[in-house]
Structure 1
Amino acid sequence: MNVFRLACLAILMAFSLSTIAQKADPPVFKGAQATKKMYKAIYQLNSDDDKKIKVTLKNIQNALDDPRLKGKVQIELIVHGGGVALYMKDGPYQAELMALLNRGVILAQCENTLRERKIDKEELWPFVSFAPSANGELIIRQAEGWAYIHP
């Protein structure tokens, strides 16, 4: 009979503890804290798909608008392959690019892409900067500690 009572008591205690645990308030998640003085991120775009381009531009805008990163983030957008469509003068993205440029975003184009696609630099917006290769840029920036983002 003592064994029966002990088993009942153990079950009752386990039930009580689980009920108490369920009633406790879950911890509130507030996101990571930006404790560094500066953050750096390089975004890669290698697609001419309008949706992909717009998502990439929106992701950059979101990072710039994050209150934790205000005044603490440097961003570069490296474009190669089909992504060159973003920087073409005859494309629809000038206003969005100017807005990013005015917020300090580095807008860079891979020179390998221009050679391979036989595109003259004059066909791109004059505010675009150039890197010898997008892959080299990504490798160097990552080695320097930049966050790599490929939306």
Structure 2
Amino acid sequence: MKKLLSSLVVVAVALFGSGLAPSCLADPGAAKGTGKYQIVFHVSENSPQQWQIALNNAMSFQRNLGKDNTQVEIVANGPGLNMLKLDSPVADRVTHALDLSIDVVACGETMKNTKITGADLIGGVRVVLGGIIEIADRQRAGWTYIRP
């Protein structure tokens, strides 16, 4: 047993002491290669309250870590897409988030299925093929996923 523990200690020191530890352990919030904290928020509820939470979280994240140190994205799909319409009760806050360089993304698949057009959306909202595809791509690239 002592020999096993000694061996594990030697392996741990060899890996972590030599710089071969995974980069996420060195800086768990920073995505691979960018040095920035990258986070994607997922909102699929047609709820002003849920959107307020997501927007508060996104803005707080960026403010506390610094705009130059972060990439923040909010992806809306399903019923959550309604909050990205021009007449949405959170339209002003979404516009403010866009002004802060927070990327707000609409699911093209939901738009197609619900007959929502780009003209119906708040200016600056980016449309992607699919919201879930966007989220999966971000996660594959090392982004942190949050569902507020």
Fold in common (TM above 0.5): yes
Change (3 A) 1:107 1:35: closer
Q: Which residue of 2 aligns with 1:62?
A: 60
For these two proteins, the number of residue pairs brought into alignment is: 117
State the secondary structure of the residue aligned to 1:109. strand
Asked whether the equivalents of residues 48 and 90 of structure 2 are also in contact (C-alpha less than 8 Å), the reply is no
TM-score (norm 1): 0.72
Once residues 52 and 93 of structure 1 are traced to their aligned partners in structure 2, the CA distance between those partners, rounded to angstroms, is: 10
Percent of paired sites with the same residue: 21
**Structure showing greater Rg:** 1
Which runs of at least 4 in structure 1 moved beyond 4 Å after TM superposition? 33-36
Gaps of 5+ in 2: 1-26
Q: RMSD in angstroms over aligned alpha carbons?
A: 1.7
Gaps of 5+ in 1: 1-32
Q: Which residue of 2 aligns with 1:113?
A: 110
TM-score (norm 2): 0.73
Q: Map 1:68-107; keep pairs closer than 5 Å.
A: 69-70=65-66, 71-107=68-104
Q: Which residue of 1 aligns with 2:44?
A: 46
Q: Which residue of 2 aligns with 1:147?
A: 144
Asked whether the equivalents of residues 48 and 89 of structure 2 are also in contact (C-alpha less than 8 Å), the reply is no
Q: Which moved more, 1:73-82 or 1:114-123?
A: 114-123
